[in-house]
Amino acid sequence: MHLWLFICIIGVALCILEILTPTMFFLNLAIGAFLTAIISVWFHNVTGLIVIFVVISSIVLAFLRPLLLKREPKENKTGIEGKYIGKIAKVESEITKNSGVISIYGERWEARNIYDDIIPEGAEARIVRNESLIMFVEKV
């Protein structure tokens, strides 16, 4: 078997390992393996290829991994933050600073206006924040 093919198989195995454990670590080693496989077409010393693999993998790990880890989704909110905050709800009962009811997604929530005015029944309100079972809203 050709040496470059063996190194490519190692690279594929490292890619599969990265898929199974998404740590952005094995991907760097896989890139190092693929670049080493390209070099192995012309350079056949196994010890030298191991050194080349370690150097390339270290360089890729030092420069590419921080870039890959920074690229996380900006809007990855879950729970109440993701489902309700910023969404528009229908006012079921007049909302003041002290009382009111909204409905959203078929659910009824106690609501309070963040401003001093009154939001009438039937209007729409934007959910601004949540404290326990009370949604704080503003008029749309």
pLDDT in tens, 57-91: 999 989 887 787 676 555 555 566 778 999 999 99
Give long-range contacts, CB 8 A cutoff, 24+ apart: 100-106.
Answer: 100/137, 102/127, 102/135, 102/137
* pLDDT of the residue at 75: 54
Question: From CA 81, how far away is CA 107, in angstroms rounded?
Answer: 16
Q: pLDDT tens digits, residue range 15-24? A: 999 888 877 8
- Domain positions in the chain are 3-70, 79-139
Average pLDDT over residues 104-124: 94
pTM: 0.50
CATH fold for the domain made of 79-139 = OB fold (Dihydrolipoamide Acetyltransferase, E2P) (2.40.50)
Helices (H), 21-78: 26-40, 46-70
User: What integer best gives the mean pLDDT of the chain?
Assistant: 88
